[in-house]
Structure 1
Amino acid sequence: MPSLITRVKSKLFIHSSKKSTHALDGAYASLMRGRSHDFEDLREYQQGDEVRDIDWRATARKNVPMIKRMRADRMHTILFVVDAGRGLSALAADDRPKRELAVLAVGALGVLALRHDDDFSMVWGDAGGVKRLPPRRSEGALEHALRTIDAASLPEGAASDRERLLDFVARTIARRMIVVIVTDEAPIAGDTERLLRRLRTQHDVLWLTLRDADPVLRVSDGSARRDVDTGWVVPGFLHGDQEVLGEIDERHAADTARRDALLTALEVDHAELATQDDAVPALLRLLGRRAARVRT
């Protein structure tokens, strides 16, 4: 089976012509807390870097803005919390399984963590149980984590249980971490909100929503839509119905607004990932917003 990290890196490299990879590096670095005075090296200034880190003498010599990189006082741990129930086997907005989008999101942030010498860990599970991978710092461990996500999210698997995952983290993870929750579009119920409030006092929390494919097709082309939890198939006559599509769009917009308002009120930085092509830019915007908030 081809390396999943290689697939993730190819997505990052596709965007590197737009300097997205460098910008992600800068945004990732700037949101990390803890700085030291031990000089490590110089590199060119990239979007998302701190202006205060510019080395003006080196900039004058090279005629391009240069950044002083300092060795971190301590390592950080990124904890990926992946809602790996059978819902991840459903289609994302680009008609590919959502588990591929989860692999890309975890893989991209995991690659950044490794580039910055940070550890990562992962908690995943469903209604059948919760498991955890211990903190690691290697591409081999990240590949294993990505393959775990890919293998765990199958149509015949157990249903999602987001509250169980969050409760596990709240009860068992004492050390402060950057917690990245990767989940689907299910509404944030009262128990989820309560657990998020608790987690927010214990950790730095980011929330990634994987957007579902539209349940009703814009144009009827003979394709089918099936709910992975119930097996219910959307009747063919609904596809292409503009009135139905309008109602679905309104409902999605309202649900998204409620979710985003709640997460903002809880000071949980969040992003919605819809397709393989927009995932990296969406992560860049998320990290950029978070870095700006951390600096203020």
Structure 2
Amino acid sequence: MSSVSVRKKIEALGTQMSLPTVRKALGVLEGEHASGRRGGGGDVMDMRAYEPGDESRLIDWKTSARQGRPMVVQRERLSTSRVWLLMDVGREMTGICPSGEQAYEVAANALRMFAALSMRRADDISLVFGDESSITRIPFNGGFAQFERTLDTALRRNWNHGRNIDALLEYARRIKDHEALIVLATDEHAMAERHIIQ
């Protein structure tokens, strides 16, 4: 599968967010805690009659009793509000996957997916690259197209240095926002048993 077709699928994901399974996945992905944004804390945005396919947990029982029929309360989406996308850019990521793509291309597509979901929720995104020579936070502001340009530009690099997964994990540990979503994109060989926290 070409990187262009993968990108089209990721972009199309933004139009499918109303599907119940995607909504459920987003709930798991984002965790349900108060947003730091104005109007956060799950403020009521809309009430409407229950429709088949709605999640039963969204039924407001007090309102339903007053109305004499099941009513669904739609609240402001509770969000993480900051997403950190960390990517291993050691030369090991130039290896070829069974799909024929280089590992860094697969990792970049995973980050594109998380960025698309996060932008849909208006989360702030930080993009961080790391290898044995340095850890670099890449400035990013804008929409999905700008994210792709930023990521693509950053991936046009010399892949001369090995990985330093310990440094990336330490960077993640030092992120002070304990409610942020942190994504580490690497290959299956990067993590050792000592990296797994029990």
What TM-score do the two structures reach when normalised by structure 2?
0.69
Structure 2: distance between partners of 1:67 and 1:92:
46
Deviation by residue 1:191-247 (Cα, 9 ceiling, x = unmatched): 534xxx4xxxxxxxxxxxxxxxxxxxxxxxxxxxxxxxxxxxxxxxxxxxxxxxxxx
Contact 1:55/1:68 (<8 A) preserved: yes
Contact 1:118/1:137 (<8 A) preserved: no
Q: Does 1:114 align with 2:113?
A: no
Q: Which residue of 2 is the match for residue 123 of structure 1?
A: 128
Structure 1: distance between partners of 2:82 and 2:76:
16
Larger CA deviation: 4-13 vs 100-109: 4-13
Q: Which residue of 1 is the match for residue 7 of structure 2?
A: 8
SS in 2 for 1:113: helix
Contact 1:123/1:130 (<8 A) preserved: yes
Q: Which residue of 1 is the match for residue 107 of structure 2?
A: 102
Structure 2: distance between partners of 1:129 and 1:121:
16
Amino acid at match of 1:166: L
Q: Which residue of 1 is the match for residue 163 of structure 2?
A: 160
How far is the alpha carbon of 1:24 from its aligned partner?
A: 2.9
How far is the alpha carbon of 1:133 from its aligned partner?
A: 3.0
How far is the alpha carbon of 1:88 from its aligned partner?
A: 1.7
Structure 2: distance between partners of 1:13 and 1:162:
32
Q: How big is the alpha-carbon RMSD for the aligned residues of Structure 1 and Structure 2?
A: 3.8
Q: Which residue of 1 is the match for residue 42 of structure 2?
A: 36
Runs of 4+ in 1 over 6 A off after TM superposition: 41-46
Q: Which residue of 2 is the match for residue 281 of structure 1?
A: none
How far is the alpha carbon of 1:104 from its aligned partner?
A: 1.4
Q: Which residue of 1 is the match for residue 67 of structure 2?
A: none
How far is the alpha carbon of 1:148 from its aligned partner?
A: 4.5
Unaligned runs of 5+ in 2: 34-40, 64-70
How far is the alpha carbon of 1:101 from its aligned partner?
A: 0.9
Deviation by residue 1:25-75 (Cα, 9 ceiling, x = unmatched): 4311344222413215879887xx853125799xxxxxxxx9643214665
Aligned pair partner of 1:175 in 174, 177, 185: 177
Structure 1: distance between partners of 2:77 and 2:47:
12
Higher helix share: 1
Contact 2:140/2:150 (<8 A) preserved: no
Structure 1: distance between partners of 2:27 and 2:117:
9
Structure 1: distance between partners of 2:143 and 2:129:
19
How far is the alpha carbon of 1:168 from its aligned partner?
A: 2.3
Q: Does 1:132 align with 2:134?
A: no
Deviation by residue 1:68-98 (Cα, 9 ceiling, x = unmatched): 4321466521111111111221111211111
SS in 2 for 1:124: strand
- State how many pairs are aligned: 178
SS in 1 for 2:118: helix
Q: Which residue of 1 is the match for residue 84 of structure 2?
A: 79
Contact 2:83/2:124 (<8 A) preserved: yes
Structure 2: distance between partners of 1:39 and 1:104:
33
Amino acid at match of 1:39: M
Name the CA shift for 1:187/1:159 in 2 (closer, same or farther; >3 Å): closer
How far is the alpha carbon of 1:180 from its aligned partner?
A: 0.9
